[in-house]
Structures are given as C-alpha cells and as structure tokens.
Amino acid sequence: MTDLIRSWVESANAETAEFPLNNLPYGVFARDGKPGRCCTAIGTHVLDLHGLEEAGVLDFGGTLRSGDWSAFMALGKPEWDRLRGWLLTALAEGAGAESTLSPHLQALSDVQLLMPFTVTEFTDFYASRHHASNVGRVLRGTNGEVPPNWLHIPIGYNGRASSVAVSGTDVRRPMGQLKAKDETMPRFGPSEQFDFELEFGAIVGQPSGGMIDVATAFDNIFGYVLLNDWSARDIQAWEFQPLGPFQSKAAATTISPWIVTAAALEPFRCAAAEREVPLLDYLQENGPMLYDVELEVALAPPSGEETVVTRSNYKHMYYSAAQQLTHHTTSGCPMRVGDLLGSGTISGPEKLSRGCMIELTWNGQEPVQLSSGETRAYIEDGDTVTIRGHAQGNGFRVGFGACSNRVVPSRG
C-alpha cells in the first residue's frame, strides 16, 4: 500500500485529512456569488486551477476555465495524467512552488462547492448481492434468491440526469400515486416511505459509439463520487410492475462535490467476490476492478445530533463500474462524457451494513433507533442524510467529502 506523500501544504499531511496529496480530487468552487471555478482540494484548502490557467501557469486549452470538469474530461487520459503529475510535483514537500501557488489557495471553509461536472445521462444499477437478496426477502417473501438473470447480467435502468444535484441541496419529498395492500384504489399524496440509497457513482470521461471491452471501460472512467439515489418506496411499489422504477426515482439523486479520480484510487483496487456462475466472456475482468472504500450513512433529525445508521464498503459489490459500463455499450448505446453510473445500493452481509432504510428497518417493521431517542422507519421531513467515504492507506486516507442533504416537505 502506498504511503503518505507529504506536501508543503501542512494541513494535507494530517493522518485524518480527507485530502492529502495522494488524493487531489477535482471540484468547482464559488465565492461572493461569482461563477464557479475548477479547483482541486489539498488539506483544508482549495487550489484555484482556473486562476492558474488564467495566469499561464497551466495550459489545458482553457478547459480549466470552463466552470466545470466536463471539457477537461473530454481531453482524454494522457491529459488527465499530465495534470495529476504536475500537481503531485508542484504540491510536494520541497518542490519550491509555494510562492507561485500560495496566492491561488483559499480555505475550504470560505467557499461554496458546486456541481463538479455536467451530467449528460444517469443510469442506476442493481449490483449488490446482499441488497438484492434482502429486498427479495422483505418485499416478496423469498428465501434470498435473486432473479435468474441477476448472476449473469448487470441489471440497471435509465434514470433522470435533470434531477441530479450536489451535496447541500435540499431534497423535496416527492408526490405520487400510492396504494396500500388493503386499498382498492390508488390515492395521490406525498410519499410516506421516502428512503436513501448508499451508492458509488462512476463518471464516464470518454465517449464511445459502440461496444467496448472491460479494460477499455475501466480506463474510460474519470473518477468517482458518493451518490444517494433517493427512492420513494411506496410510489415504487405501485408503479414498478411491469416496467420498473419511474417517478419513485425521479425526485432527486444527489452526489458529493468532489470527483476522486481513478488514479487516486488505484492503490485500493480489490477483486469482486467469487462468482457463483461464470460470467460470459465479455464481462470477464482482467484484474481487480472494485475498490476498498469504507462508507457510512448518518441520519440527523431536525432537533438532534446525527446517528450513523449504516457502515458498508464498495468492495461488497458483485459487478464493478467497468463491467456495468461495458454492458451498457453492448447494444451500441452511445456513452458520452459526463454519463453518471450509479452502482446500486451498497449493502454488506451484516444488518448495520445494509445500504437503505427498507433493508435496515425491514420495510418499517424494525425502526432504527436514533441517539436523540427518536425512531425512524423511513426518512421524515427535516431529516438530514449524510454519506461519507474514504479509502484507508498507510498513515493517510483518500476521502470524498460529504454527500449531505436535508429532506423538505412536498409542495402538495
């Protein structure tokens, strides 16, 4: 495992710092109502890359002055590597670049973080064996078996790019058709079973017009964000047969503001679980393609401190983002720069590692106890849900920042 790379930005060298020099995630910040500027996080600061390109210190064809990372992603992997290499050198302890870069550092606490890229399309997958088994038990009374195709194919659905928002954005409780088992007719109203889903989002950094292989797909992923795929379980239960989720998943999907690059996560690669049945050749991995990333979800009521309700890990997934991207292209479906792929709910083998409320509370039958003394079957108005994650190295961690959003009442 890689050791800490020390920086002349002293706050980056703390053992618990989320943004050491090993990380260098990409984001967009703003101050005083001005337009967003591309940056990287280092310690407790942001380094204004927009300003460095404007000053002629960096030259990436103006892409760092475009207000988000989409134009830079389109340049391709050699340019991704060139920028990361330059930053690793310039920010390293003893580099001699302090006088050049210090004027472009700003405290994280003084800036607002915005959407880091333009989401062109959003696809959500269903790739955790533990989640699929639990949902089958709680909703259909199965013994934990998964659908016949599940062990052969990364199952997913096309979602809404228009409702993807960044951490800090309020999430409005959705309205929709609801029908309880004992009701003969549906009714219209606010969702009574609003839920979070702990996910990992992969960002496609290169376009493809036809089928690509798994190795190419892995290299086409620019980076990753934490992702909350908010779900209205009662709306979903009524609408999903026979075509699956629609309005129940359209209210909001929220992401963390920092893109942690695939390069930063390289030391934390790990293999998926042993396959129960062999995958078809086009989905075979040529190496470990998951990451050992520790994840947690905290829930805070309006009047109390937060309670961690879930601790899980991305390594529990059955299919990697590269396999999901490969399968996505098999029909000839074009993939574009900025396509966002949700991993699907990340659930582990233990109760505390279940990645959503429908699993944690067994569809409301076993409410979660909060430190405030309150209980929750599902998310209530005023609650704040925060997802955090990091990969742990030797004396450092690669963090993602928080994906934190408050639920507000519906407009109905």
Is 104 labeled as catalytic in the residue annotation? no
Burial class (CB in 10 A: 0-12, 13-18, 19+), 77: middle
Q: Do strands 122-125 and 340-342 pair parallel, antiparallel, or not at all (unpaired)?
A: parallel
DSSP H helical ranges for 206-278: 214-220, 233-239, 262-265
- State CA 350 to chain mean position distance: 22
In angstroms, rounded to a whole number, what is the distance separating the alpha carbons of residues 30 and 46?
A: 11
Q: Do strands 269-270 and 194-195 pair parallel, antiparallel, or not at all (unpaired)?
A: unpaired
Q: What is the largest CA-CA distance in the chain?
A: 73
Catalytic residue among 50, 104, 131, 328: 131
**Nearest partner of 19 among 370, 402, 312, 324, judged by Cα:** 402
In angstroms, rounded to a whole number, what is the distance separating the alpha carbons of residues 243 and 249?
A: 13
In angstroms, rounded to a whole number, what is the distance separating the alpha carbons of residues 401 and 167?
A: 9
Task: Count Cβ atoms below 10 Å from residue 276 Cβ, excluding itself.
Answer: 10
DSSP codes of every residue in 311-368: EEEGGG-SS-HHHHHHHHTTT---B-TT-EEE------SSGGG--BHHHHTTTTTSPE
**Nearest partner of 310 among 269, 265, 345, judged by Cα:** 345
- State CA 270 to chain mean position distance: 18
In angstroms, rounded to a whole number, what is the distance separating the alpha carbons of residues 118 and 249?
A: 20
- CA distance readout (Å), 266 to 154, 189, 249, 287, 318: 23, 46, 32, 12, 19
In angstroms, rounded to a whole number, what is the distance separating the alpha carbons of residues 385 and 230?
A: 10
**Nearest partner of 308 among 173, 198, 407, judged by Cα:** 198
Task: Count Cβ atoms below 10 Å from residue 110 Cβ, excluding itself.
Answer: 11
Active site residues: 131
